[in-house]
């Protein structure tokens, strides 16, 4: 093996660097107190709202752990709980207008970071990275959000 280090820590560190940069820029734009740990909600929440148990399943975290993140985001004004129209006893979690603004800003910033990579590493290499990650995760060909 002539590898400098295994792919897993490389992927982990790349992800942490992008997340760190995203959060620095979100804070600079006034979306304060959003932290990488909040990603388990922002990454999976649907526009019309999502049940806590679904977020827990998708993120691989416990319902309690996601519940704590949801409590935190509710306290910060990014998230609210509402009755589920499909089941009056169940609650949906959904973004407030401020939560939707922060999510839009995050999507724009991530696009900016990718454009900076294309400039730094070349568009062909950046596209190749994206395509391999999409194949690997089975996300190839998914429609734009």
Question: Applying CB under 8 A, which residues contact its own copies?
Answer: 1-19, 22, 39, 43, 60, 107, 110-111, 113-114, 117, 121, 125-126, 128-130, 132-137, 139-145
How many whole angstroms separate alpha carbon 138 and alpha carbon 81?
Answer: 31
Helices (H), 60-142: 63-75, 97-121, 123-137
Min dist. Cβ of residue 57 to its own copies (A)? 13
Min dist. Cβ of residue 142 to its own copies (A)? 4
Nearer of residues 86 and 142 to its own copies, judged by Cβ: 142
Nearer of residues 14 and 82 to its own copies, judged by Cβ: 14
Min dist. Cβ of residue 7 to its own copies (A)? 5
How many Cα atoms sit within 13 Å of 69 on the Cβ side?
Answer: 24
DSSP structural state of residue 34 = -
Q: How far apart are the first and last CA of the chain?
A: 40
């Amino acid at each position: 093996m002539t590898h400098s280090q295994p792919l897993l820590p490389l992927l982990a560190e790349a992800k942490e660097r992008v997340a760190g940069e995203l959060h620095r820029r979100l804070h600079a734009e006034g979306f304060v107190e959003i932290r990488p740990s909040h990603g388990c909600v922002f990454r999976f929440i649907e526009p019309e709202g999502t049940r806590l148990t679904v977020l827990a399943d998708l993120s691989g975290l416990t319902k309690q752990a996601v519940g704590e993140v949801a409590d935190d985001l509710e306290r910060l004004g990014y998230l609210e709980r509402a009755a589920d129209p499909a089941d009056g006893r169940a609650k949906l979690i959904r973004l407030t207008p401020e939560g939707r603004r922060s999510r839009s800003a995050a999507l724009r910033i991530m696009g900016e970071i990718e454009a900076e990579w294309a400039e730094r590493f070349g568009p062909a290499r950046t596209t190749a990275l994206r395509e391999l990650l999409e194949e690997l995760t089975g996300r190839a060909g998914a429609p734009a959000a």
